[in-house]
Amino acid sequence: MRHTQIQQFVVSASQMAAIESRVFAAGMPVAALMEKVAGLITRRVCELYPDVRTTFGILVGPGHNGGDALVVARELHFRGYGVKLFAPFASLKELTAHHARYAASLGIPQVALANLADCTVLIDGLFGFGLTRPLSGDIAAAVDRINTWQKPVLSIDLPSGLHTNTGAVLGTAVRATRTFCLGLWKQAFLQDQGQDWIGQAELIDFDLPLADIVEVLGTPPDLCRITPQQAIAALPIPRSVTTHKYREGHLLLVCGSRQYAGAALLAAQAARASGVGMLSVAVPESLRLMVVAQVPDALVWGCGETDDGAIAQLPEDLNLADYAAIACGCGLTREPVSLVKQLLEAATPLLLDADGLNILATLDPVPTLRNRPAPTVLTPHPGEFRRLFPDLGAASGREEQSDSQNDPCGNRIDAARRAAQQSGAIVLLKGAKVAIGTTQHPAVWLNPDSTPALARGGSGDVLTGLLGGLLAQAARRHLPLEPVVAAATWWHAATGRLAAAAHSELGADASTQIRYLPRVLQSNDFNDSSDFGF
């Protein structure tokens, strides 16, 4: 129970400090907490490296991150491991200085950086959430040098140099292979730009009282890290035994063009896998028979086409009020502007993706969305996000085409939140760590566990179909849509992980993802997203 609750929280540096202050004010001695935390870290290090011939090079910073590192060093020393310290700061916080003195008295050597080069593993205790300014000078040079060594690095709390909230690299940062996040997930762990430095992330729960956490974060908290349990709870299962197809929602998918026929198929097949009661698909007339053949369960509308094979208009006898939800955009091309306008005016929950978003971007999006008579869900990747919300775009993540960006204001959590606040829409900002901005509480949902196997054309169409189908089911029941958007995000990511486990990261193409959608729900163990057996 505690394990599940703790996994949902995400904190900023100041919130973490506020929670710790409450614990200290209540009587917990700082030194005792440091012993406890470092003891838990030591246990994990010993589990990871049971061979006592392993040698550890330990980087010691001036604050309590360095204090943690010194306690870990001492404990590893007592367990018989070889330990060397690199402690380049002349002035240490008081508790850290005590531990440094004791470590010296035990004969644990303090060495120059070059002498760590022969250690098997490095432990990074330079800076944690107390980092206040960019790394510079000798310490930045040391970090840069360590990063060239290609050794396993275990970072304590955060890779030193990473901004606790944004995950941005401040000057330079340690490239960790694994990071032990202490107590509560820091925001950096849910930001794309920190991921290449964090490596494998692991939470070390050291029993911060829930009452203190809730007091600082509020109920419900502003941010929520999506857990499998929450996601499953938001899915329309188990079904009522007496239900019938019209009670399980009717989705209208508006998608496809002669140029992008596959996108329509992927979205329709994923919508089918969502369990939606009825699925209608509106495509250009020339795609109609192909969709019928591939998705025989759908009612397929053939629409009038433009010269280029995009949808010119919806059939006259198609009544938008007949549907619980509409999803539009996959493979649409940017031609059908009046179609998207028509859908935006409908009093039906609307999901816009891909070219639906690109068209919306030309229609003065913020006031248009604000005037919508029904809820809207947007699923932009960072490029589409920037087109929709240019004033927030810099904060949405790295450039699509660039592989070396570290945008110092790449705060996706903030970008998704502000986009939702401005527009009133639910904004699902795609990426490695999907951030979903809402106007409700929580203001932002964050999806922690995914796979780069999803980074390929067609993945987004799968998400749109799946989410559209789930939105139709929720809207039919008059349920809030925000938890459903979070659940679809989790389901899609879990599908990618399951498909990648079976077929490799390269083999989890969009069609394979669709085949794996139902298998995610067949797994019996949702206690932890890492408990899927992969």
Ligand X SMILES: Nc1ncnc2c1ncn2[C@@H]1O[C@H](COP(=O)(O)OP(=O)(O)O)[C@@H](O)[C@H]1O
**CA-angle at 464, arms to 458 and 468, nearest 5°:** 155
Site string (100-139) toward K ion, x via CB under 5 A: ------------------------x---------------
Which one of residues 85, 100, 156, 499 is an interface residue with ligand NPW (CB under 6 A)? 156
Residue 454 interface partner, choices ligand X, ligand NPW, K ion, none, CB cut-off 5-8 Å depending on type: ligand X
Which one of residues 7, 15, 42, 65 is an interface residue with ligand NPW (CB under 6 A)? 65
Which one-letter amino acid corresponds to residue 111? V
Binders of K ion: how many residues, by CB under 5 A? 4
- Which residue, 42 or 160, is less far from K ion as judged by CB? 160
What is the Cα–Cα distance from 273 to 513, expressed in whole angstroms?
11
- Which residue, 121 or 428, is less far from ligand NPW as judged by CB? 121
- Which residue, 28 or 312, is less far from ligand NPW as judged by CB? 28
What is the Cα–Cα distance from 403 to 457, expressed in whole angstroms?
18
Residue 124 interface partner, choices ligand NPW, ligand X, K ion, none, CB cut-off 5-8 Å depending on type: K ion
Binding residues for ligand X, per CB under 6 A? 354, 381, 430-432, 434, 450-452, 454-455, 457-461, 463, 492
Six-digit token pair at 60?
């010691």
| Burial per residue of 296-319, b for 16 or more beta-carbon CB atoms within 10 angstroms, e otherwise | eebebbbbebeeebbbbebeeeee
- 204 with 37: CB under 8 angstroms? yes
Pairing of strands 82-86, 153-156: unpaired
Which one of residues 86, 100, 128, 298 is an interface residue with ligand NPW (CB under 6 A)? 128
What is the Cα–Cα distance from 192 to 240, expressed in whole angstroms?
39
- Say whether residue 127 binds ligand NPW (CB under 6 A): yes
Annotated binding site for AMP: 460
- Which residue, 164 or 450, is less far from ligand X as judged by CB? 450
Distance of closest approach, residue 185 Cβ to ligand NPW, in angstroms: 13
Which one of residues 19, 45, 56, 68 is an interface residue with ligand NPW (CB under 6 A)? 68
- 398 with 419: CB under 8 angstroms? no
Binders of ligand NPW: how many residues, by CB under 6 A? 27
Residue 518 interface partner, choices ligand X, K ion, ligand NPW, none, CB cut-off 5-8 Å depending on type: none
What is the Cα–Cα distance from 355 to 265, expressed in whole angstroms?
16
- Write down how long the chain is: 534
The alpha carbon dihedral of 281, 287, 293, 295 has a sign of: negative
Which one of residues 71, 116, 156, 443 is an interface residue with K ion (CB under 5 A)? 156
Stretch 221-260 residues interacting with K ion (CB under 5 A)? none
- Say whether residue 94 binds ligand NPW (CB under 6 A): no
Which one-letter amino acid corresponds to residue 520? V
Residue 417 interface partner, choices K ion, ligand NPW, ligand X, none, CB cut-off 5-8 Å depending on type: none
- Which residue, 287 or 485, is less far from ligand X as judged by CB? 485
Distance of closest approach, residue 487 Cβ to ligand NPW, in angstroms: 33
Other beta carbons within 10 Å of 512: 19
Which one-letter amino acid corresponds to residue 153? V
- Say whether residue 34 binds ligand NPW (CB under 6 A): yes
Annotated binding site for (6S)-NADPHX: 64-68, 128-134, 157, 263, 331, 381, 461
- 334 with 359: CB under 8 angstroms? yes
Pairing of strands 223-225, 311-313: unpaired
Distance of closest approach, residue 202 Cβ to ligand X, in angstroms: 18
Six-digit token pair at 426?
């639910």
Distance of closest approach, residue 141 Cβ to K ion, in angstroms: 17
Distance of closest approach, residue 92 Cβ to ligand NPW, in angstroms: 8
> Phi and psi dihedrals of 250, rounded to 5?
-125, 115
What is the Cα–Cα distance from 220 to 443, expressed in whole angstroms?
10
Residues near K ion (CB under 5 A) are 124, 155-156, 160
